[in-house]
Structure formats: structure tokens, C-alpha cells
Chain A
């Protein structure tokens, strides 16, 4: 510790309090390096002239640095070697081409050599279509509005771009627009991701839109997903012991449990299925109905073609006029009725009768609300 600037001052004071502070800083620094991708191994190291072992740390060069990415033309299963070097050793002379340069110049002409042995970083072969997918995928991830790991996506892109030429491989034809209104703040998303990755409980103030009240919540975060452009956190609410979903842009004052930072607070249950949760349509949420209800909708032609294409429920019958009846399992019938209304006649509810009446009643309310404004009696109003 006495040899490292930043530690040596306090360490050399000899005071226990100062040395404990240095040790805590050292532990944080070690964790930080690991989080940046620097692998630090804990190994026994001889101390007191070999009389005993104490904890030592090391990192191996091969585990620290990225291997070379060697680009092969075409797709996997084809043949081809873009850079023509044929080298596979992974030494610097075998580097994949970048921006059309040959391997001889890729290392740069101004290398200062003391004759020290070169390091073998290893090499990984990657086909052109795989490289394009990797770079393009990272570019898309970095462009997602509100995505909390966008900086990491960009830095991963830069690392891959050391050996792969993005100008040749990436051609983005996708735009992502942020949702309207205020999105979740950067610190909110960073705290949620931190809690998610380290499996630490998060606490926050939540503005519930249904009851229009703000309450304190504590959650074991199981997953983050994006729907309709907005980020949602799913997890087990500590006070209620059931899995809930919260919208990130309605959270404030998010904190991660600071106790025992290197020890997870919980395990994610093996049967937790984030994909299923995230993929539910609004009427599939468990809200309002004691048990899910089977609802049948009739889609007239040509809307029936879209309903089939978009896999809305299961088809149960097709009519000669091209219309189709489809069955949906619904947890929130109010949401479903409003959705059908919003289709403007592209679907109608066949059963249950209760929902047919609700649809009629709701549509009637809209018609009444939009009745012509009363005004001077006009000739056309008379029978």
C-alpha cells in the first residue's frame, strides 16, 4: 500500500483508522476495476519471508486484453479471408484489417521496442455477417431511448471497432423515438440497473396513476423491460410478497440497499418469466377480474387478416364473408372494451353478453357526449 499513490499517504501514517480507510478504498477500487472488465484474481502470496500466506492479487495479460477479431468474408459456413493474412496466431502481425489497412501498418510505424517478447492476445474468427450483426445490434441498443446501459453499449461498440470497420459493416436504417412526456431520469435508471445486476433491493417513492397518490415502495428487482417506449421494473414487492410491475418514469428518489454491497439480497425465482410478463397485452394483466375471462371477438374482413397476422388471440371460426371469430383470455375487461372501441368498428364483441352490453353502453356514452350542440331551431331539424 505504501507504494501506491492515493494509498501511501494514509497508509504510512500508521494509524489504524487511516489504514482501515485505505483498505476500504482498495476494496472499492478492486470492485471498480472488475466492473470495468479487469479480471483480478485473489491468490495466496507468501508473506513474512515465506512463513505464511496472505491474500494477494494478480491479473493475467491474456485475461485482461481482448483477443484480435479476424474477419472472414461472407457468412458462417462459407469460405474467405478478408484480410488475406492467413495468420491465426493472434500476434500483432496477425491483426484483422481495419479501414483497409494491411496488417503491417495496423500496428503503427512508431512502435518503441525494447526487444521485450510480444504478447499473444489470441484471435477470434468472425464472419462478416456476424460482425455486422454484433456492431449493428450494439448501435441499436445504444440508440434505445432511456436505455440505462447505453454508455456501455457505445464502449462495447468502440472495442469491437478496434478490429472491425463499422463504416463497412454497419448501415443503420432504424430510428427510435422517445415516448412523449418526461422519461425516467438517468440516476433512476442507473440505480435500477445497479440493483438488478447486483441483486440488491431498491426503494423508491412511486406515483401511482390509478389512485393518484405517492407511496414508498421496496422491491426485489427481477427484471427491466420496455413497452410502448417506456421502461418498467418487475420484481417482488417486499411488503406484499407478490410480483408487481412499476413504471420507471413514475419513480423518484430511487436508492439501492447500501448494506453488504457484495452480497445479493435475494435470488430470482427459477419460474419467474420476464418475457411472458413483458409480452402481455394490456387486457391480459390481472386486474379487475377474479378469474380470467374468455372473450370472443368477431373481426370483419379485411381487419380479420390483420388480426390473424398480428396473432390476436386464437382463431375459432371463419365465415364465408372473410370475417373471423377469435378468442382471447382477458384479465382486465375494461381495458379490452376500450381497446375494441378504439378499433372504430374493426372488431365487435361476440361473447360474453356482459361485455357486449358494456361495449354498447360505452359507445352510447360517446355518441351522447358528441350530440350536436343545441342551437336555434333550423328548418332541417323539423320532421
Chain B
């Protein structure tokens, strides 16, 4: 009975599994052959164009081991002497040590046209061109996308053109920039121009004016940040773009210090600079523990709760973090931060007219 129920629950998966394993092996083999062919389509015109190339350079460009490129070429050389079907043009490939040369009378002097997926990437990249200082206008980007797709992409059947498939992908946080702050700060970072920022820190009574030298933008967990030298702080700070009230590009130029290292301000998954770090221990109740366990390293307690040790650069952050869980998260220590959570929650109670 249980077996019948199991089959009913997974009818498609059952036959999918049976069909998939043989298909998977064939698909993996195919993927290997296709990847090799793709590399060859790149290597031949690249080497021809440059009059020769070093294996390690090609491997670096293709992001594969040198031995993989060497194997691709050796196999191609072997096959070039075995033209049962005949080739319209002659190709001669020589591999001497680390250097490869290609001689061709016609074929493979150019890269092949963009495949469907490559053309979709180009379209998506142009949609993200709001991330680039040039081409700020949506209409111009769309016109460029259409023109490049028509001229550079391989012909595709109706309904399956790259433009049709582009609609199947969305990245709203990356494309939207309603007030243009990101575009201006990116220009500042790319052109190395000072920016005047009006910034609202969490809990601050009013926005503050800051003169900054933007070094780089970062995107983490749906939020945009700019890492910039702040003249008020006299050091590099991270500013969250959704807390920027206004930003104006100045004419004054700056140089990014040679020793600026963005990684100093980035944790593994978030923008974070451990200058004066507080350590906070938070327990998440069994009701919400599994969500937190997906995102954080921690320990399960005997009651099904999840304990996480947070490193905190900004006390306001941990207070708001705990508040949002509406009583399903408890900040265990330090006592000072517990007090801040209590006071913030009490203020909210009072503000509701209790």
C-alpha cells in the first residue's frame, strides 16, 4: 500500500529517473564533446589572428588547464590528417612545445557567431548596463541590443530568438535604480570623481552631508553599497545606497590608493569591516530556526532552537535584526545590547498608543 502511495506521489519522477540515468551519461559525454568543440572554435581564429599563441595563455583565457588545451589540439591535429568527408579549406595546425600556430586559407579565421545562450547573456548584460556609466538611456540600450543580436547572433527560429528568451530572466535589484544614485556613484568610481552624499545613518536624527571618494560598488543580499573614503571619518566606509538621500558628482578628481583592498571591507557574504567588532549571541526559536540555519553557521540546542554567534560592526544592525523576528529571536548577550533591544521594542509599544 505504502509502495503504491509512493508511486502515485512520484509517477513522473519515477519514469524521469529511469529515463534520466542513461540520458545523463549521454548528456555528460555530449557536454564534454560540446565544450571541446567550443574551445576549438575559439582557439583556431584566436591563434590565426595573433600569428601564434602560447598554450598557457590560451588556457588562461579559456579558464581550463593547459593540458586540456593541448589535448584538444592534439586530437584536432590527428583528425586533420583523416579527411574522409573532405574539407572545403585547408587548415594546418602545428604544436611545437608550448607554441601553437594555425594556417588556414579561409575557415576559422573568425569566431563563430554568438549562440542563442551567448546572445541572451549579451542582452542581459546590456539590461544591466545601468551598472555602466555609458549608455544610461534605456532606449539606446534596447536599440543596441537589437542591432547586435541581429548582426552577431546565429539565426534562430521564430519564437526562440534571444530577445524572446531574455524575457525569461529578471534581476530587479540589479537593473532598477529609480533615483540614479547608483549610476552617479558608479561614474564617480569609474572616473575617480569626488561625490557629495546626503546620508541617513540608522537611528540618526537627521541626514548628514558626506564628501566621499567612491572606490567600488558592492552588491550583497539584495543591497547595494559603495565603499568610499569618507572625509568626515578620515577612512574607508561602506554606505548603503538605500540610505542615500541624494548624491552629486563633483568635478574634483582623486586617485585610488594603491593599498586599497576591497576585501578588507567584505565578509564572505556581506559588506562588513571589522574595526570595532562586538560579539552577540542570538537564539532563534524552533519556529524560525530552520530559516536561520540555511544562512548562518550555528548550533542547535536541545529544544530545537538555533544559536548563532554574530560579529557586529554596528549595534543598530543587531538590534533591528532581532526586532524583526517579533519575539522569535532573543539576544542572549552582551547585556548592553539586550538592553538596547528592550528599549527599542518598548519605544515601539509606546508609539502604538499603548
A and B form one complex: yes
Chain B proximity mask over A340-383: 1 for CB below 8 Å, otherwise 0: 01111110110000001101101111111111100000000000
Pick the contact of B152 from A66, A132, A339 — CB < 8 Å?
A66
Q: Is the CB of B128 within 8 A of A140?
A: yes
Asked whether A134 is an interface residue with its Cβ less than 8 Å from the other chain, the reply is yes
Chain A interface SS verdict (over half) = mixed
Q: Is the CB of B295 within 8 A of A107?
A: no
Pick the contact of B344 from A28, A61, A119, A345 — CB < 8 Å?
A345
Asked whether A320 is an interface residue with its Cβ less than 8 Å from the other chain, the reply is no
Asked whether A255 is an interface residue with its Cβ less than 8 Å from the other chain, the reply is yes
Which residues of chain A are within 8 angstroms of B174 by Cβ–Cβ distance? 140, 144, 226
Closest to B145 in A: A134
Closest to A268 in B: B168
Q: Is the CB of A344 within 8 A of B132?
A: no
Stretch at the interface among A47-55, A78-86, A171-179, A284-292: A171-179
Which residues of chain A are within 8 angstroms of B172 by Cβ–Cβ distance? 225, 227, 275, 278-279
Q: Is the CB of A36 within 8 A of B347?
A: no
Chain A proximity mask over B70-81: 1 for CB below 8 Å, otherwise 0: 000000000100
Closest to B160 in A: A197
Tell whether A3 pairs with B86 under 8 Å between CB atoms, given A149-B121, A152-B121, A153-B125: yes
* CB of B249 to closest CB in A, whole Å: 14
Asked whether A330 is an interface residue with its Cβ less than 8 Å from the other chain, the reply is no
Q: Which residues of A (1-16) have their CB < 8 Å from a CB of B?
A: 2-5, 8
In whole angstroms, how far apart are the Cα atoms of A64 and B152 in the complex?
Answer: 10
Asked whether A88 is an interface residue with its Cβ less than 8 Å from the other chain, the reply is no
Which residues of chain B are within 8 angstroms of A141 by Cβ–Cβ distance? 121, 124-125, 128
Which residues of chain A are within 8 angstroms of B321 by Cβ–Cβ distance? 342
Q: Is the CB of B122 within 8 A of A137?
A: yes
Q: Is the CB of B42 within 8 A of A155?
A: yes
Tell whether A37 pairs with B84 under 8 Å between CB atoms, given A112-B103, A144-B171: no
Q: How many residues of chain A have a CB within 8 Å of chain B?
A: 136
Q: Is the CB of A224 within 8 A of B169?
A: yes
Q: Which residues of B (308-354) have their CB < 8 Å from a CB of A?
A: 316, 319-327, 330-331, 338-339, 341-342, 344-349, 351-354
7 nearest interchain CB pairs?
Answer: A137-B125, A342-B324, A365-B327, A108-B51, A228-B222, A37-B115, A129-B134
A-B contact pairs, 29 of them (CB 8 A): A34-B154, A36-B38, A36-B115, A37-B115, A37-B154, A65-B111, A65-B113, A66-B110, A107-B49, A110-B52, A111-B103, A112-B105, A130-B135, A134-B144, A137-B126, A153-B121, A158-B111, A159-B42, A173-B189, A173-B216, A174-B186, A177-B270, A180-B269, A197-B168, A223-B168, A255-B13, A337-B326, A344-B320, A359-B352
Given contacts A106-B49, A152-B121, 10 further A-B contacts (CB under 8 A): A38-B112, A113-B105, A134-B126, A137-B128, A141-B124, A154-B63, A174-B186, A178-B268, A180-B268, A341-B348
